[in-house]
């Protein structure tokens, strides 16, 4: 029997996990729990590939994965059945059979993250692990001006982690929007791909500028320095969400509402897939 390829859209709260990727040591990861649950439903060992790995304490509202199976199962089995075997903070929210050429990582033409900041003099209790809290008042207009510098194709060496294993620091930022609703400030970033800690380093620079501790022009200075030591602090992981991976239309990857779902609706700019 020939194997079929199945794509899933997965949502998870990363607080209790050591990141997405399964590790050789026995530590909790999202991939480990998802593969275990899928293997029970498929009745054979399942290995998954994701669109973009996430670090410890980072969340996802629409992580895309694929796996191969020779098991005959319904969409409900890959959603409701798998969810019954998952921890409460991981859930499959969509599933679909895919063409054999589909690859969750290599077929993706862009990825999108949102970084959620909660700006308030007092720390939150209810969302303490789902947002990045700052007691400082942030000037969103300055942050928006600074973020424009990052749009386009650049060498982002100043924004990559020291241990980043990417072959090149060059990435293309397709859109960088910043929204505010009440005490939430959201960095909404879409790119062809990202470097390790890239978004959290963007957040660190923009929060510093928003707090008035550096001028708007500092963003360009950091970018052009191509030196991580010039880039200031790395933002905490708690506010970071993987919210979308985009694919050519012919693959018909399931789409879900853009998250994280506690946020108010923001007017969406018109986007085009990169060529």
In tens, the pLDDT along 185-242 reads 999 999 999 999 999 999 999 999 999 999 999 999 999 999 999 988 999 999 999 9
The full DSSP string for 125-192 is STTTTTSEEESS---HHHHHHHHGGGSEEEE-GGGS-TT---S--EEEEEEEEEEEETTEEEEEEEES
Beta strand segments in 2-86, E: 4-12, 49-50, 59-69
β-pair partners for 95:
8
> What structural domains and CATH numbers belong to the chain?
4-107 (3.30.70.580), 113-241 (3.30.70.660)
Q: Would you name the residues annotated as active-site residues?
A: 55
Range name among 64-68, 121-125, 135-139, 230-234 with the lowest pLDDT average: 230-234
Q: What is the pTM for the complete model shown?
A: 0.94
Place of tokens 């506010």: 239
**Percent of the chain at pLDDT above 90?**
89
pLDDT band of 163, cuts 50, 70, 90: confident
- Closest to 57 in 3D by CA, of 221, 240, 181: 240
């Amino acid at each position: 029997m020939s194997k079929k390829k199945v794509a899933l859209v997965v949502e998870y709260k990363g607080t209790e996990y050591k990141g997405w990727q399964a590790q050789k040591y026995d530590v909790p990861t999202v991939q480990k729990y998802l593969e275990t649950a899928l293997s029970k439903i498929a009745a054979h060992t399942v290995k998954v590939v994701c669109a973009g790995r996430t670090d410890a304490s980072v969340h996802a509202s629409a992580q895309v994965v694929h796996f191969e199976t020779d098991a005959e199962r319904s969409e409900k089995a890959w959603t409701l059945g798998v969810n019954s075997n998952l921890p409460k903070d991981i859930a499959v929210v969509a599933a679909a059979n895919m063409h054999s050429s589909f690859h969750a990582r290599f077929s993706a033409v862009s990825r999108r993250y949102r970084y959620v900041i909660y700006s308030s003099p007092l720390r939150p209790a209810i969302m303490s692990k789902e947002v990045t809290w700052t007691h400082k008042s942030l000037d969103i207009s300055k942050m928006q001006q600074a973020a424009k510098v990052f749009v386009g194709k650049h060498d982002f060496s100043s924004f990559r982690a020291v241990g980043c294993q990417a072959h090149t620091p060059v990435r293309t930022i397709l859109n960088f929007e910043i929204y505010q609703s009440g005490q939430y400030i959201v960095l909404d970033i879409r790119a062809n791909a990202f470097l390790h800690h890239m978004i959290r380093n963007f957040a660190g620079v923009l929060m510093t500028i928003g707090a008035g501790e550096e001028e708007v022009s500092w963003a360009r200075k950091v970018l052009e320095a191509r030196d991580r030591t010039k880039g200031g602090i790395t933002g905490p992981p708690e506010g970071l969400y993987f919210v979308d991976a985009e694919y050519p239309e012919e693959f018909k990857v399931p789409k879900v509402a853009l998250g994280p779902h506690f946020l108010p609706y923001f007017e969406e700019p018109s986007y085009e897939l990169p060529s």
